[in-house]
């Protein structure tokens, strides 16, 4: 019997291509099934979805992440300062914020903090609420006067 290496190589690559197509078909079938089930659950009211919140999340996923410096720092009470944001983003008041706060390039350690904890304890706690960031500096100093740069980045 004569071996034809080119023919064997072609058969091998054909088999691997068929396996790849089978995997892709399986993935697409499962994805379509899960999409249909999800739509059914939403339409029958078994899963509640706010149309406005859903639209906001979809749009947030499509646009580039927000980043910028906090320039207007307003003392609220205790250790808490408020900085308005230039863009309306999903915050902890209407979902789960994806905002990270940085002090001189170092991420502050306590996101999604309770506002009373920010006021009373401070120590780098912060919360993205509505159109503003409520925060304290890492050492509870006045962020408007301590010479540090505060910036935010959406992840």
Instruction: Specify if 91 maps to a domain.
Output: yes
Number of separate domains in the chain: 2
Q: How far apart are CA 150 and CA 120, in angstroms?
A: 20
pTM of the full structure:
0.64
Q: For 93-144, how does the pLDDT look when each residue is reduced to its tens digit (9 = 90+)? A: 888 899 999 999 999 999 999 999 999 999 999 999 999 999 999 999 999 9
CB–CB of 99/153 below 8 Å?
A: yes
Q: pLDDT at position 7, please?
A: 53
Q: For 15-47, how does the pLDDT look when each residue is reduced to its tens digit (9 = 90+)? A: 888 898 999 999 999 999 998 988 888 888 888
Instruction: Specify if 54 maps to a domain.
Output: no
When mean pLDDT is compared across 37-41, 58-62, 67-71, the lowest value belongs to 58-62
Instruction: Specify if 111 maps to a domain.
Output: yes
E runs forming strands in the chain: 67-69, 74-77, 80-84, 99-103, 106-107, 126-129, 132-135, 150-154
Same domain, 25 and 77: no
Instruction: Specify if 61 maps to a domain.
Output: no
Same domain, 87 and 145: yes
- Residue 35 sits in which domain range? 5-49
C-beta neighbour count of 136 within 10 angstroms: 26
């Amino acid at each position: 019997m004569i071996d034809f290496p080119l023919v064997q190589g072609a058969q091998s690559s054909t088999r691997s291509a068929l396996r790849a197509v089978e995997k892709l078909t399986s993935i697409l079938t499962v994805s379509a099934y899960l999409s249909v089930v999800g739509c059914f659950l939403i339409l029958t009211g078994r899963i509640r979805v706010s149309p406005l919140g859903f639209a906001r999340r979809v749009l947030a996923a499509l646009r580039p992440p927000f980043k910028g410096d906090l320039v207007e720092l307003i003392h609220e009470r205790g250790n808490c300062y408020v900085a308005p944001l230039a863009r309306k983003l999903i915050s902890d008041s209407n979902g789960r914020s994806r905002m990270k706060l940085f002090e001189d390039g170092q991420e502050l350690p306590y996101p999604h903090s309770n506002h009373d904890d920010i006021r009373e304890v401070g120590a780098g706690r912060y919360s993205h609420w509505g159109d503003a960031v409520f925060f304290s500096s890492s050492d509870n100093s006045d962020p408007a006067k301590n010479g540090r740069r505060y910036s935010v980045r959406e992840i």
